[in-house]
Each structure stands twice: as structure tokens, then as C-alpha cells.
């Protein structure tokens, strides 16, 4: 059950803050991105984050394949990941946790 609720809570919090940050920003996303890439130190952070996201995308690929899903299943998560960062893997983990939770055998009072 925690495998569903923890990533869902993180996804909601991260998504809410993302919407807030974008809504209250005084510049466009394109201007923000170009400003980040203008200096080597902030560009390094961007490259590091995207490298980590790429590693997560590779893990999601092998995990989804092991669970019987194809590349088409992952495309939505990949688009979210490379546009909104951590929201993609969090969405993947939330759905994965939901499916595991729904598939788990339930305890009944007679089995206790």
C-alpha cells in the first residue's frame, strides 16, 4: 500500500509546486531554460538532472518490460519525464504501486 501512497503524495506535492512556480513566474519557460544554460555552473546542474532522468528512464524501460508492458506504454511517462522532470517517474511509480496493490491478495477475517 505504501508503494502507491508515497509516490502519489510526492507526485501531488511536486505537481502542485510546479504549477505554482510556473504560474507565478515572471518569465516564460523558454527564457528560464536559456538563462539556466547561459552559465556553466547552472548548465552543469541541468545536465546532471537530465542524466539522472535518463537513468530513471532506462530503469522504467526494463521494469515495464519485466512486467509485460511495451514501449508504447512508457511513451507518456517519458514525455512527462523529459518535460516536467520527476513527475514522470513519480507517475510511473504511482501507477505501478496501484497495480501491485490491486493485484495483491486481500486478507479476510477468516484468514487471520
The answer to whether the pTM exceeds 0.85 is: no
- 81-to-40, 49, 53 alpha-carbon distances in Å: 23, 11, 7
Torsion of CA 33, 35, 41, 46, to 10 degrees: 0
Separation between Cα atoms, residue 73 and residue 77, nearest integer Å: 8
Axis-axis angle for helices 29-38, 40-66 (nearest 10): 120
Q: N- to C-terminal Cα distance for the chain?
A: 19
- 39-to-5, 59, 100 alpha-carbon distances in Å: 38, 30, 44
Q: Give the model's pLDDT for residue 112.
A: 54
Mean pLDDT of the chain: 91
Residue 110 has pLDDT above 80, yes or no: no
Give the pLDDT confidence of 52-98 residue by residue, as tens digits.
999 999 999 999 999 999 999 999 999 999 988 999 999 999 999 99
What DSSP character marks residue 108?
-
Amino acid at each position: 500500500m505504501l508503494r502507491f501512497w508515497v509516490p502519489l503524495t510526492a507526485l501531488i506535492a511536486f505537481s502542485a509546486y510546479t504549477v505554482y512556480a510556473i504560474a507565478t513566474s515572471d518569465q516564460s519557460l523558454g527564457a528560464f531554460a536559456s538563462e539556466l544554460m547561459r552559465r556553466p555552473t547552472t548548465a552543469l546542474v541541468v545536465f546532471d538532472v537530465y542524466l539522472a532522468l535518463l537513468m530513471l528512464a532506462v530503469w522504467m524501460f526494463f521494469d515495464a518490460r519485466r512486467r509485460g508492458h511495451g514501449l508504447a506504454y512508457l511513451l507518456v511517462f517519458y514525455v512527462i519525464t523529459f518535460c516536467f522532470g520527476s513527475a514522470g517517474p513519480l507517475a510511473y511509480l504511482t501507477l505501478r504501486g496501484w497495480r501491485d496493490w490491486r493485484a495483491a491478495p486481500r486478507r479476510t477475517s477468516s484468514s487471520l
